[in-house]
Each structure stands twice: as C-alpha cells, then as structure tokens.
Amino acid sequence: MKILKDKKIIDVLCCPHCRAEMYVREEGSGVIACKGPKTHCFDLSSVGHANFSRPSQSGGGDSAVAVKARSAFLNKGFYSPVSDAIEKLTSKYLTDRGVVVDAGCGEGYYTMNIAKNGASVFGVDISKPAVEAASKRAKREACDNAFFGVASVYEMPIRDGSVSVVTNIFAPCVENEYRRILKKDGVLIVAYAGEDHLMGMKRIIYDNAYLNEVNRADLPSNIKEIERIRVGADILCEDNETVMELFSMTPYYWRTSKEDSDKLKSVEALRTEADVIISVYRAE
Ligand SMILES: C[S@@+](CC[C@H](N)C(=O)[O-])C[C@H]1O[C@@H](n2cnc3c(N)ncnc32)[C@H](O)[C@@H]1O
Ligand SMILES: [Zn+2]
C-alpha cells in the first residue's frame, strides 16, 4: 500500500461532496477523509491514487487503449524537449515551494518530470486508466511527492486559492476553475499545439492539410499572459507501431475518416515535427 505522505498535498485537498478540508484518517490506513459532518471517505488504491469523481463525472476521458499507446510513445522520449521546457518554467515560477496541480495529467509523463526536483505535485484526470498508470509510475519511481486523483478539471477537489502553479498540457483549459484554485500571484502554464505541430503526419493523412488553429477558444482571456515560448522537436518514427501510437494520441485519431486513417497503416517510417506553444499566465 502506497500512502499519501506529502502533507502539502493533503492540505490543498477538499472534499468533492461537501468541500470540507481533508486529512489522512489513520496513519498507514490508506484512507483519506473529509472533516465535514458526513466524514466522506476515499480509499487509496494499492498504487496510491484516489477516486474523487462524482457519479455524474465518472467514466470519461481517455480509454485504457489510448493511455497505453500514449505511454509507449512518450516513453520513447520524442517529447522530452517539451517536458523539460515545462519543468524549467514550473521551477522558475514555483518560488514559494507550494503545490503544483497538473490538470488533465494523463499518465503523468509531464507530472513526474515536474516532481523529480522535489516539487509537491497533484495530478488530476477524469480517466481512471490514466490516473492508475500515473500512480503506478510514481510508485515504481518511489516518488512520495506526486499524488494522482480521478476528477474532472471542471470541478477539482482542491481548496480555493491554495496552489502555486497549475500546469495544463494538451488538455481542456478551464480558466475559471484554474483561477479558483490558484493563490494570488500563482501561475498557470498552458501547453498546446502550435501551427506546425505534426504537419508531417497530417500531410500523409489529408489531401489539404491545414496549419493548426492556435487561437483555441478555451485559452485564458481574463488573466494576464506574462511569458510565451515555442518549443520544437524533430520526431522520427522508425516503425509503423510508433507511427500508430503517435496517431492514436492526437485528436485526429477521432476526427479522421477510416479511409484517411488507413493511409498511415502502410507507413513504415515518419518524420514529423513537434511545435508546442507554452504560455504562462499570472493570477492576480
Ligand atoms: C491529450 S491527453 C494529455 C494528457 C497529458 N497532459 C499529456 O500531455 O500526456 C488529454 C487528457 O485530458 C483528460 N481529460 C479530458 N477531459 C477531462 C476532464 N473534463 N477532466 C479531467 N481530465 C480530462 C483525458 O483523460 C486525457 O488524459
Ligand atoms: Zn465531505
């Protein structure tokens, strides 16, 4: 049993049902509970994550198959320049040693890179298989300062004004909810696809491949952007398995007709590019 040991993370949690503060019920019990009148309890799994989703939210997010493909692809290191840039920005703005929340953390590839320098990180995702994979990874790496919970990023089990940095990487950006949990002067770091992201792959699939739309509708609009960087990387997939892993972790996987998707099935190698924008916003 992996126990939630990081007191800083426990202190920012709140009950998804009654919003009361949370505590570890008995040292070593693997149960966290709220201090509200109904004492809502949340069991930690054998790998240490908790399910904070409410019945109306459960079952969404990425499937086990998608999580497996993305983990396999990310573990090959193609996105490590992106991950390192996010980690550097997080360290730069984490000046008070407070808590980082990774909203839409998937299987924790970026979360764990942020945690490696000792930052206390809470990863939130609505996908149970993703959170389970993230937690297994933290357990494998004996990392006590990363904790993962199943919950929607639209309504996180986190206290108002309690966290120092929110990272939001290729996942839904919910400005109001992220601002709610951030401390005054806290920072929101959003990573999303730049114009040229994966164009090499898109050119194989589509006859008229368009540049990506960078003015995403959900990007923050009521909070000040204080820094923006663009990170590029050359991606060389040397076998079809890797090509298909990459394809299945993109939104195109869901949007593309079978006829167009099938074009990738015979591709033995693919050179494409990562083009990622990382924007930093400061809460006031
Ligand atoms: C493209 S993946 C990115 C995962 C991870 N940040 C990464 O870059 O490897 C998007 C993630 O957002 C999660 N997601 C989608 N809608 C969500 C919601 N309403 N609440 C929490 N997570 C959500 C999915 O389950 C998935 O893990
Ligand atoms: Zn409660």
For residue 206, name the pLDDT band (cuts at 50, 70, 90). Answer: very high
Per-residue pLDDT at 55: 75
Outline where DSSP puts E strands in 151-195: 163-169, 182-193
**For 197-226, what is the mean pLDDT?**
93
Considering every ligand atom, which ligand is closest to the CA of 19? 2
Taking alpha carbons only, the member of 249, 31, 252 closest to residue 130 is 249
Taking alpha carbons only, the member of 170, 184, 188, 149 closest to residue 274 is 170
User: What mean pLDDT is reported for the chain?
Assistant: 94
**Is 168 within 8 Å of 178 (Cβ atoms)?**
yes
- Provide the whole-model pTM: 0.96
Give me ligand 2 centre to Cα 22, in Å: 8
**Is 250 within 8 Å of 233 (Cβ atoms)?**
no
Per-residue pLDDT at 2: 67
Residue-wise pLDDT tens digits, 234-256 = 999 999 999 999 999 998 888 89
**Atom 24 in ligand 1: residue holding the nearest Cα:** 61
For residue 49, name the pLDDT band (cuts at 50, 70, 90). Answer: very high
Give me ligand 1 centre to Cα 8, in Å: 24
Question: Is pLDDT of 58 > 80?
Answer: no
Percentage of the residues of the chain whose pLDDT score is greater than 90: 86
Task: For the chain, give every domain's residue range.
Answer: 55-282
Give me ligand 1 centre to Cα 119, in Å: 21
**Atom 27 in ligand 1: residue holding the nearest Cα:** 106
Architecture of domain 55-282: 3-Layer(aba) Sandwich (3.40)
Q: Is the CB of 18 under 6 A from ligand 1?
A: no
Q: Is the CB of 109 under 6 A from ligand 1?
A: yes
> Residue type for 101, please?
V
Atom of ligand 1 lying closest to residue 152 CA: 20
Considering every ligand atom, which ligand is closest to the CA of 190? 1
Q: Is the CB of 174 under 6 A from ligand 1?
A: no
Q: Is the CB of 53 under 6 A from ligand 1?
A: no
